[in-house]
Structure 1
Amino acid sequence: MDQLLSPKQVHSEYGFKPQTLANWRWMGMGPDYIKTTPGRGGRIKYRRSSIERWLHEQTVRGGAAA
């Protein structure tokens, strides 16, 4: 089973501040997330696999691609 992390847990394990995660959600970027309750104040969770996949997708290879 894939572990669900709160924005605070993402911050402590990966270093992304909760406000940064919120900004990314608002801009439609960043890792995929789950909204467990409706509305503006809804609870947000991140699957660990989604964060790892997003980080992998952000990897830039050195050389001409950089």
Structure 2
Amino acid sequence: MNNDRYLQAKDCEALTGIPAATWRYWAHVGNGPDSFKLGRRRVWRQSVVEAWIAEQEAQTRTGGAA
């Protein structure tokens, strides 16, 4: 098992600036990075969120060389 950190919606907000409510909504409708329930809490693996951010950047980057 890896040493990944489990993030709650408020942690994802602190990391990205995207409101916690948006993270919860994305999980509800199946958008955004993969999440799962850990007990009663919805969590995201930090490595999955960071990979998702990198993917968003790669798909939407403009200007300059990659």
State TM-score, norm by structure 1. Answer: 0.74
Cα RMSD over matched residues? 1.5
Alpha-carbon distance in structure 1 between the residues aligned to 2:49 and 2:11 = 12
Q: State how many pairs are aligned.
A: 59
Q: For residue 25 of structure 2, what is the amino acid of its counterpart?
A: N
1:27-46 aligned within 5 A: 27-37=29-39, 42-46=40-44
1:11–1:61: structure 2 CA closer, same or farther, 3 Å change rule?
closer
User: Any stretches of 5+ residues in structure 1 without a counterpart?
Assistant: none
2:19 to 17, 20, 27: 17
Q: Which residue of 2 aligns with 1:52?
A: 50
After superposition, give the CA deviation of every residue in 1:16-53 in whole Å (9 maximum; x if it has no partner).
2111011111221101112113xxxx311111101111
Structure 2 residue identity aligned to 1:22 = R
Structure 2, unpaired ranges of 5+: none
Q: TM-score, normalised by structure 2?
A: 0.74
1:19 is aligned with what amino acid? Answer: A
